[in-house]
């Protein structure tokens, strides 16, 4: 069964068309932050699957949930100690 885009996808495209500076962070380039990521870090700039690196501890994080504007949830990728 084909997947369909969520309703917010159309809204995001309309927002982007009206204001190109509102574009999400390029998900092919990991974000960087000194220290562990916390809820809502980089909110409004990421999408599910975006990557971020804790440059202090050398851990990779994956964005697992976001509403696209004010929230983001991060999980450590893999079994990093």
pLDDT in tens, 7-53: 444 445 555 556 555 555 565 689 999 999 999 999 999 999 999 99
Within 1-81, strands assigned E span: 31-33, 51-54, 59-66, 72-76
The structural domains of the chain, with segments of one domain joined by +, span 29-81
Enter the tokens of residue 1: 């069964």
* pTM of the predicted model as reported, rounded to 2 decimal places: 0.66
* pLDDT top residue among 1 and 15: 15
């Amino acid at each position: 069964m084909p997947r369909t885009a969520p309703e917010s996808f159309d809204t995001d495209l309309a927002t982007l068309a009206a204001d190109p500076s509102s574009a999400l962070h390029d998900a092919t380039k990991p974000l960087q932050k000194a220290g562990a990521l916390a809820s809502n870090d980089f909110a409004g700039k990421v999408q599910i699957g975006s990557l971020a690196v804790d440059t202090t501890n050398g851990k990779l994080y994956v964005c697992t949930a976001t509403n696209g504007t004010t929230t983001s949830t991060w999980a450590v990728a893999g079994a990093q100690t």
